[in-house]
Structure formats: structure tokens, C-alpha cells
Amino acid sequence: MKDLIKKLTETISPSGYESVIREIITEEIKDFADEIHVDALGNLIARKGSGGKKIMLAAHMDEIGLIVNHVDENGFARFSPLGTFLPHTLVGARVRFLNGTYGVVGAEYLKPATQTKLAPLNKMFIDTGASSPKDSPVKIGDVAALERPFHDLGKRLIAKSMDNRISVVILIETMRKLKKTEHEVYFVFTTQEEVQVRGALTSAFGIAPEIGIAIDICPVGDTPDSAKKEVSLGKGVSIKIKDPLMIADPRIVNWMIKGAEKAKIPYQREVSSLGSTDARAIQVAGAGAMVGGISIPCRYVHSPSEMVDYDDVKNTVKLLIALLEKKIKL
């Protein structure tokens, strides 16, 4: 899967501008789906199988990005975020615009004494090398994402937009390896998750699944002085029980845990105090659904260099196949 991880993480497709990544995913899955369509919000929906339970697997294909809202008299582009950025990860970061322009993020420093302090986003700008609005290669409304190459460290993998391209890869690989299923499974590559989880809401409304599973990354607690959290890289699939906006259905949690134990797949139990996933939208769309979440432990979330463990990635694929191949008793 590593070549595909490299291809997808190095693709620029921020929230609301997912057409490029959608085309790549479509090419990867077209031979493994019984039906493929794109809905009004740009969600890519692929169905496999029929009968049994109606199951929606969601992995968002967008990434955090920046949108220009002003170009000043010296050519510096001010921006608004598309999604959540951590200010300390941005200064000095390189970005690439959809039109091919490159830039670097800088920040205002009014006094030398403030240079060791974090600058807020409204004090930052993108330097594209321009000296005036007239020669600026970008204009108001142009969109960029972080620019960083994928690196394979062997067991550990580093890239921008592991959130959530790593889950997209997992869904693609699951489609490839799932030879048969007794259920009607929808593999949904959702849009605009990073901006209030929009795509999953509309796609879930259209599908009306009985069961919804969001596949996404989750922060870990295994780095020095990190928040207390019992999730680590390399210790297995993370089965989500709760996050700030979603309480997983206990029946779904138990089904996942029993499936992992039966298949001898290492797993971790996750209760998160930060963020949420597409599961929250699936849970409340239309008449609602039983939902759960499967997370890939990830270090340095929403930074230019997110890190995952390749064994965790492979084990997530194994768990999804183990769950989808058999009858479901909840």
C-alpha cells in the first residue's frame, strides 16, 4: 500500500476542492465496486454487495487548507483556514496552491522580544515571492494546502494529510481484498469533513445505513509529555468508544472488539477528548444509525508531518474484512 499512500498524501485537495483526489480514488476502485456515483456535495460513493445489513464505511478525502482573503500592497497573501491549524506548526511551512504556485508561511513580529511567542493565524501571511498585488500569482479565493513529501521510515510512515488519506487507502485496500460479503456495503469517500463534517451528513442521508463506521486517524498519548491517552503507535487498531461529539453504539463497539479478538488482531480502546469524525454525522442523519469508529493512531495531527505505523494500517484492513465477510449479530 505504500505507493498508494505516497500518491494520495502528496495530492493537494483541501476541503471543498476534492475533485483531484476524487478522480484518483475513482481510478483505484472502479474495478472493485458494483456501483459508483458522486452526490451533490462531491462525496464518492461505491457500493459492493447486496442483502444483509446496509453498512456505510466513511473516510474523508479532504485535507486542511488555506484560502486567500487579501493580498496586501507588498504582495503578501493573507489567508483564512479551511479546517483547524495549530499555529506553532505553520510558520515556515511551505504550501502549494491549486494553480501550482508555491509559497511559504511567515508571521508578523512587531518587536524582537515577541519572536519566541506563537503568532496567531491573523498575524500570518503567505509569501509567494511577489512584491505587489499586480505581480502576485494568487488572488482572493485561491486555495492552498501544505506541501511536504511522503517518507517511508520502514515501520513508521510520515506525510502531510495522513489525516485522512491513510483511511482512504485502507478503504481502497479493503475493497480490493473483500472478495465476498453478505451485506450491502457502501464505501464512502466524504468531502468537507475538516469544516464541520458536511459530506458525511448528506451522504448518510442519501444512503440511510443501518450501521455506520467512520475510519479516521486519532491523536496518541505515547510521546513525551503528551496528554494522558491509552493509544499508541504500533499497538493495534483503535476502536472508538466516545469522542466529544459522538458516543458509539455499545453493540457496534462489542461487535468490533469480538471481531478483533476472534481474528487475533491487536486493538486498543479509545476515548477521545479532542475532535470528532464522520461517525457523528452518520449517527444523526435522517432517522439515524448505529455507529462506531475505527481509528489509526497518529502522531503530530494537523501538522505538516503526521506519522502512522504501517502495522496499524494493515491490521485495520484485516479487521474491516473480518467484520464484513460474516453475518452480523448485534
- Residues known to be catalytic: 193
Give long-range contacts, CB 8 A cutoff, 24+ apart: 31-38.
32/175, 32/176, 33/175, 33/187
With left for phi above 0 and alpha for psi between -120 and 50, is residue 328 left, alpha or beta? beta
> Are the beta carbons of 298 and 312 closer than 8 angstroms?
no
Q: Residues for the chain: how many in total?
A: 330
Kindly provide the b/e burial profile for residues 17-28, where b requires at least 16 CB atoms within 10 angstroms of the residue's own CB.
bbeebbebbeeb
d(CA 154, CA 307): 12
Q: Are 2 and 152 in contact (CB under 8 A)?
A: yes
Residue type, 87: P
Exposed, middle or buried: residue 182 (CB in 10 Å: 0-12, 13-18, 19+)? middle
Euclidean distance between CA atoms 243 and 87, whole angstroms: 23
Q: Can you tell me which residue has the cell 465496486?
A: 33
Angle at 202 between CA 196 and CA 206, to 5 degrees: 160
What's the grid cell of residue 63?
485535507
Contacts of 110 (CB under 8 A, 6+ apart): none
The 3-state DSSP class for residue 323 equals helix
All cell numbers assigned to 233: 503507535
Cell of 142: 485561491
Instruction: Provide DSSP, 193-206.
Output: TTTTS-HHHHHHHH
